[in-house]
Each structure stands twice: as C-alpha cells, then as structure tokens.
Amino acid sequence: MTTTAHYAVKAAKRLNLEPWLYSFIYREFRKIHKNHGVSIATNNYGYFPTDISASDKYQLQMYDEYVKLLESENTSQILEIGCGAGGGLMHMQSRLPDSCFTGLDRCKEAIKTCKYFFPEHANFLELYIHIKDIIKTGKKFDAIVSVETSIYKNPEIFSVLYKLLTDDGVLVYYDNVASSRLNGAIKSIERHGFKTELLSDITENVFKACEFDNHRRMEITTKYLPLYLQPFNSEFERYMCVKDSSRYINFGNGTKKSFLLKARKLKN
C-alpha cells in the first residue's frame, strides 16, 4: 500500500470512520460472490485445528469454540455483537437450533451483506445497526458473543452489555490485543460487573489458522480485488493476516495475543 493510502486509513480510524471503511469490504464480498461465485460470509482469523470441510472451515471453527462454551448454558436468546456478513451467526444457529439469535453490526453494509447471503432467514432473524435500538426493545439475552470486534478499546460498552444480559447471563468474547494490553483489557471487563470463568490464550490456534488458510486469503486479494482498491492491497493483506504481513509477524513473535474469555454477569 502506498504511504498516502496507509495514512488515509489511519486517519479514518482516528476519526471513528471504521464503519465507512468496512462498508467497502462488505460491498466487495457481495461483488465477489456475484461475479465469481465465491462466498465470503465469515470474517475472522480462524481457529486451528478443525474437522470442518467448508472453504472457510477455520473461521467456522472459531464459532464452534463458542458453541462448546454455550452448550452447558440455558441460552434461549443469544446476541452477537459485530455479526458482520452473518456466516458465524448462522453457523452457531445451526449448532444451537433451540436458541434464537440476534445480530448487531454498526456497518450498514454488513447487515445488507448478511441479508444477501442468508435471504431465507430474513423473516425471523433480528438484525440491528444501533445497540440503542436493541435496548429500546427491552429484550434480555442469556448470552452475548463477540468475535474480533476490538470492543475492549471502548470499555464502557461492557456496562451496556451487562444491562442487556439476564441474571447469570454470560459473555463469550475472543479478540486480539497487544501483549502489554491484555491484562488491562480483562480487568476492564471485570470492572463492569463480570466474573471471568475461563480465559484461554489461543494465539497459537489463531496463528496456525492464518498459516494454513493463507492460500485462500491471498487468492481473494490477488484474484478478486478490483483495480481501484489495489493501492490498498497491503492493508487488506494486513487486515486478513496473510503470511509476512505485520499482524502475522506479531502473532508469530508474541507481540500480539489472542484470548478467548467466558465471563458471567455478577448479580447486584
């Protein structure tokens, strides 16, 4: 990526314009499917190992790790924060058919892409762009899940999630964080009314998923990225954590950590 493009992306993030940036990504997901028949409905670094046979098997396996943590819970209502294109949301629903799922993503194009890939679910799947609209419904959730959303950077969100959970509800959250910030991220969650029941370092699982999924990710950037987005190619490769990108290197040398957390809402 050119220096100008790189600083444009950084400036947009500082101005809280990430939903605008992601809108380009989700539009391209739909175009790639329309033009090439390639479905990109999941959007995380993935989890290794897996026995799933789908092309996005590592991404789906990450959601299976969530299902393992939810199977012992009474989860009639589950909310996913940052549902993206909906592939993970639908996968969890297939694994937990007795649960009702709600999706939230602040990027309108993500919600549009979810409806595009899963039109048959449009009549019963609840999707929201603004969390305040969920609050207005008065609905409570037995579990809230979130995958690679960086919500730890805005700790006040955990007080909102606390209020959306039923008594004894659980938060299941995976993210990637600088090693130096990991303890602070966990403590900020606990300060907002949660007790950590499980905290796993899954850096190696995520790193291996990136390694084994590298060919598919590189194919997306080299074969399907349109000409007008090619100046941002290296940024897309960093975003997708392909081999030799800065994020990939940081996972390999331990500068960046991946954690999977299950925390329970403490009663007042």
**Which residue ranges form the domains of the chain, and what is each CATH number?**
9-213+239-265 (3.40.50.150)
Residue 121 has pLDDT above 80, yes or no: yes
* pLDDT reported for residue 3: 47
Q: How many CB atoms lie within 10 A of CB 187?
A: 11
* pLDDT reported for residue 229: 75
Lowest mean pLDDT among 3-7, 144-148, 203-207: 3-7
Of 160, 171, 164, 167, the closest CA to residue 197 belongs to: 171
Can you tell me the mean pLDDT for 220-229?
83
Of 78, 87, 55, 267, the closest CA to residue 168 belongs to: 267
Whether 61 contacts 52, CB under 8 Å: yes
* pLDDT reported for residue 13: 57
Cα distances (angstroms) measured from residue 192 to each of 74, 149, 228: 23, 18, 43
Of 192, 45, 46, 33, the closest CA to residue 113 belongs to: 33
| pLDDT tens track for 205-223 | 999 999 999 999 999 888 8
Whether 63 contacts 175, CB under 8 Å: no
Residue 127 has pLDDT above 60, yes or no: yes
Residue environment code for 2-35, b if the CB has 16+ CB neighbours within 10 A, otherwise e:
eeebeebbeeeeeeeeeeebbbebbebbbebbee
* pLDDT reported for residue 24: 83
> pTM, whole model, 2 decimals?
0.92
* pLDDT reported for residue 239: 86
* pLDDT reported for residue 247: 93
Return all residues near 132 (Cβ < 8 A) that are at least 6 apart. Answer: none
- Quickly state the pLDDT bin for 2 (edges 50, 70, 90): very low
* pLDDT reported for residue 222: 87
| pLDDT tens track for 49-64 | 999 999 999 999 999 9
Of 113, 164, 115, 114, the closest CA to residue 137 belongs to: 164
Of 212, 204, 214, the closest CA to residue 257 belongs to: 204
Q: Whole-angstrom Cα distance, residue 15 to residue 211?
A: 32
